[in-house]
Amino acid sequence: MANARVLNDLPVAIVGGGFSGTLLAIHLARRGARVVIVERDPQALAHGLAYGACGPQHLLNVRAGNMSAFPDDPGHFLRWLGLAEADAANHFATRASYGAYLASLLATARAMMPDRIAIAIAAAQGLVPQADGTLRLALDNGASLHARAVVLAQGNLPPQRHRALAGFEPPQVLPDPWAPGALDAIAPDARVLLVGTGLTAIDVIQSLQARGHKGPILALSRRGLVPRAHADNGPTVTPQPMPTARGSALLRQIRARARDVGWRHAIDELRPHTHALWQAHDATAQARFLRHARPWWDVHRHRMAPAIAQRIAALRTEGRLTVVAGNLQAVERRSDGSLVAQWRTRRDAQTVTRALDHVVVCTGPGGDPTQSRDPLLRALLTAGHARPCPLRLGLDVDGHWRLRDGAGRSALPIHAMGALSKGLNWEMVAVPDIRLQAQRLAEYLTPVREAVAA
Ligand SMILES: Cc1cc2nc3c(=O)[nH]c(=O)nc-3n(C[C@H](O)[C@H](O)[C@H](O)COP(=O)(O)OP(=O)(O)OC[C@H]3O[C@@H](n4cnc5c(N)ncnc54)[C@H](O)[C@@H]3O)c2cc1C
C-alpha cells in the first residue's frame, strides 16, 4: 500500500468534464486535493452534453432558482445571471447560459487554484490497478495518469437501438439526436418520425422548428405520454416526512395526496425522499416500478418549462405535430428510397402504416453499461473491476458510489457518479441531485481536508 503522504500527492482523476466532473473537481480542489479532469471533447469541457451545443430555444427544464451548482448556496446561479432572487425564482434560463455559468465556475476555480485542477483533453480507455493500491489510467493519446482514485463522470449511456431499426444508418435513421450535426440532413419539408415522446423528443422538435422545419412530425411511444408542464409559479412545498407506505400502497398514497394538494405539489414533496424511497424497495419492487410506473413518473417529475409546453401545444393544435401511442413494429425501405413505418395502436391494436423520410431515435439514455462502446467501461467490465447493477441502471456501486467488482466487492478506489450511479439512487440525472453527490463524494475522497478552502 502507498503511504498516506504519497497518496495525498497523487491526483484524483475524473473521467468526463461535464457538470458532474466539473463540480466534483471544484469541490475536491477547494478541499485541497489535486485533480485531473480527463475530457475527450474540448468543446464539452464544463458544458457536457446538456449545456453545450444548444440554441436559444432550448430552455432549462428546472427553474433557475433551483439550478445553483452549490447545494449550500441556492441563489448562486441567479446571482450569476444578475437576477434578484425575489423576482427571478420562476425564470427558466437557456441551457446555453447554464453552460456559460459552468465554464465560468471552472475558469475561476482554475485561476484561484492553478496547481490543483489540471485538464487532459483525451479519452480515457483503460485502467490498471497498481500493487500499492493506486491506479494508472490509460489515455488514447498514449499518455497515462497515476491517480489515487478515479471517478467515472461519463454521463448518460447511449440509447438502446430499437429492433425495428436494425440495419438502417444515418441520415435516414438517426440513432443519436445529440451527435454533432445529426439533424443537418433533414430537409425542411421532410416527414419525420420520432421514436419516443419524452424530453429528448421535445428537444428535437424544438431544434427542427428552429431550423425552419415545415414537414409533418409524428412522435410515437408505447403510451404516447408527453412531459407535463411546470406551473407558472412555484414550487412552494412545505417539507413533509418520508411516506411510510411502499409499492402500490405508496402509489395510491401519492394519487390521494395529488387530489388534495395537486399533482405537482405531491411529486415535489417526494423529492427529498426519492433516494431513500428507492432504497427502501427491494430489486423486485424496483423492477416493478420501472415496468409499470416509470413512464408516468418521468412525465410528471421531469417537466417542460411553461413556454416550451405552449410551443408544443401550438404545434399539435396546428396539426404539425402528432403524438401517437403505439408499438413500432417495422420500418422498411421503399424502392424510391423513402421509408415506411408500421405500428400497432395502443388503444385499439390497429396496424397503421405511414410513409416517412427520417426516423430519429428519441428513446432517451440507455442504462446497460454492457451495451456501451466506451473503451474504458468495456475494459473495466471485461477485467471484472466493474459490473452492471442488477436492474441495468448503470454500474453496481456501494453507498459511497464505489464500484463493485465482478465478485461484488468494493476493492478498488474507482467511483461512478451521475447517470452511471442511478442503480443506487434512481434519481441521479439532474443538477439538484448531482450537485449534492459531487459535494458528498468530494468529502468522502478527502476525509481530512488537505488545505484551507480557496
Ligand atoms: C439535453 C439535456 C438537457 C438537460 N437539461 C437539464 C436541465 O434543464 N436541468 C437539469 O437539472 N438537468 C438537465 N439534464 C440532465 C443532465 O444530464 C445533468 O444536468 C448533467 O448535465 C449531467 O452531467 P454529466 O457530467 O453527468 O454528464 P455529461 O454532461 O454527459 O458529461 C459527460 C462527459 O464525459 C465525457 N466522456 C465520456 N466518456 C469519456 C471517456 N472515456 N474519456 C473522456 N471523456 C469522456 C463526455 O465527452 C462528456 O463531456 C439534461 C440532460 C440532457 C441530455
- CB of 61 closer than 6 angstroms to any ligand 1 atom: yes
- CB of 359 closer than 6 angstroms to any ligand 1 atom: no
CA of 341 to the centre of ligand 1 (A): 31
Go through 304-315 and write b for each residue having 16 or more CB atoms within 10 A of its CB, e for each that does not.
Answer: bbeebbebbeeb
Instruction: Give the ligand 1 atom nearest the CA of 203.
Output: 1
Task: List the grid coordinates of 345.
Answer: 395502436
Q: Which of 43, 58, 106, 154 maximizes ligand 1 atoms within 8 Å of its Cβ, making it the mutation to test the pocket?
A: 154
Res 420: pLDDT: 98
Res 214: pLDDT: 97
- CB of 20 closer than 6 angstroms to any ligand 1 atom: yes
Res 453: pLDDT: 46
Q: Return the residue whose CA atom lies nearest to atom 14 of ligand 1.
A: 430
Res 233: pLDDT: 83
CA of 17 to the centre of ligand 1 (A): 9
CA of 67 to the centre of ligand 1 (A): 15
Q: Return the residue whose CA atom lies nearest to atom 15 of ligand 1.
A: 430
Gap between the Cα atoms of 214 and 315, Å rounded: 11
Gap between the Cα atoms of 395 and 415, Å rounded: 10
Query: Are the C-beta atoms of residues 258 and 230 closer than 8 Å to each other?
Result: no
Res 6: pLDDT: 60
Q: Return the residue whose CA atom lies nearest to atom 10 of ligand 1.
A: 430
Instruction: Give the ligand 1 atom nearest the CA of 155.
Output: 27
CA of 47 to the centre of ligand 1 (A): 8
Q: Return the residue whose CA atom lies nearest to atom 35 of ligand 1.
A: 16
CA of 276 to the centre of ligand 1 (A): 24
Gap between the Cα atoms of 282 and 358, Å rounded: 41
In terms of Cβ atoms closer than 10 Å to its own Cβ (0-12, 13-18, 19+), residue 57 is middle
Query: Are the C-beta atoms of residues 77 and 104 closer than 8 Å to each other?
Result: no
Gap between the Cα atoms of 357 and 339, Å rounded: 6
- CB of 254 closer than 6 angstroms to any ligand 1 atom: no
The distance from CA 175 to its chain's CA centroid, rounded to whole angstroms, is 17
From the list 206, 177, 33, 25, the residue with the least C-alpha distance to 102 is 25
Q: Return the residue whose CA atom lies nearest to atom 4 of ligand 1.
A: 50
Gap between the Cα atoms of 337 and 178, Å rounded: 25
Chunked into runs of 10 residues, the chain (454 residues) has average pLDDT values of: 69 98 98 97 96 90 94 94 80 96 98 97 98 97 98 93 91 90 95 97 96 97 97 82 94 94 94 95 96 95 96 98 97 92 97 97 94 96 98 97 98 98 95 97 86 46
CA of 53 to the centre of ligand 1 (A): 12
Q: Which of 19, 51, 92, 119 maximizes ligand 1 atoms within 8 Å of its Cβ, making it the mutation to test the pocket?
A: 19
State residue 216 phi and psi, 5-degree precision.
Answer: -70, 140
- CB of 69 closer than 6 angstroms to any ligand 1 atom: no
Q: Return the residue whose CA atom lies nearest to atom 27 of ligand 1.
A: 155
- CB of 206 closer than 6 angstroms to any ligand 1 atom: no
Task: List the grid coordinates of 73.
Answer: 448556496
Residues pairing with 344 in the sheet: 327, 351
Instruction: Give the ligand 1 atom nearest the CA of 67.
Output: 11
- CB of 369 closer than 6 angstroms to any ligand 1 atom: no
Q: Return the residue whose CA atom lies nearest to atom 3 of ligand 1.
A: 50
Structural domain spans, the chain:
4-58+94-158+367-445, 163-228+304-361, 247-301
Instruction: Give the ligand 1 atom nearest the CA of 417.
Output: 26
Instruction: Give the ligand 1 atom nearest the CA of 95.
Output: 8
- CB of 124 closer than 6 angstroms to any ligand 1 atom: yes
Number of residues that this document lists for the chain = 454
Res 180: pLDDT: 85
Q: Return the residue whose CA atom lies nearest to atom 34 of ligand 1.
A: 16
Task: List the grid coordinates of 123.
Answer: 479519452
| The three-state (H, E, C) secondary structure of the chain, written as one string | CCCHHHHHHCCEEEECCCHHHHHHHHHHHHCCCCEEEEECCHHHCCCCCCCCCCCCCCECCCCHHHCCCCCCCCCHHHHHHCCCHHHHCCCCCEHHHHHHHHHHHHHHHHHHCCCCEEEEECCEEEEEECCCCCEEEEECCCCEEEECEEEECCCCECCCCCHHHCCCCCCCEECCCCCCCCCCCCCCCCCEEEECCCHHHHHHHHHHHHCCCCCCEEEEECCCCCCCECCCCCCCCCCCCCCCCCHHHHHHHHHHHHHHHCHHHHHHHHHHHHHHHHHCCCHHHHHHHHHHHHHHHHHHHCCECHHHHHHHHHHHHCCCEEEEEEEEEEEEECCCCCEEEEEEECCCCCEEEEEECEEEECCCCECCHHHCCCHHHHHHHHCCCCCECCCCCCECECCCCEECCCCCCCCCCEEECHHHHHHHHCCCCCHHHHHHHHHHHHHHHCCCCCCCCC
Q: Which of 49, 62, 304, 433 maximizes ligand 1 atoms within 8 Å of its Cβ, making it the mutation to test the pocket?
A: 49
Hey, how many other C-beta atoms are within 10 angstroms of the C-beta on 41?
A: 16
The CATH architecture annotation of domain 163-228+304-361 reads 3-Layer(bba) Sandwich (3.50)
Taking the complete model, does pTM exceed 0.85, yes or no?
yes
Domains 4-58+94-158+367-445 and 163-228+304-361 share a fold: yes
Instruction: Give the ligand 1 atom nearest the CA of 59.
Output: 8
Gap between the Cα atoms of 403 and 154, Å rounded: 14
Domain spanning 4-58+94-158+367-445, CATH class: alpha beta
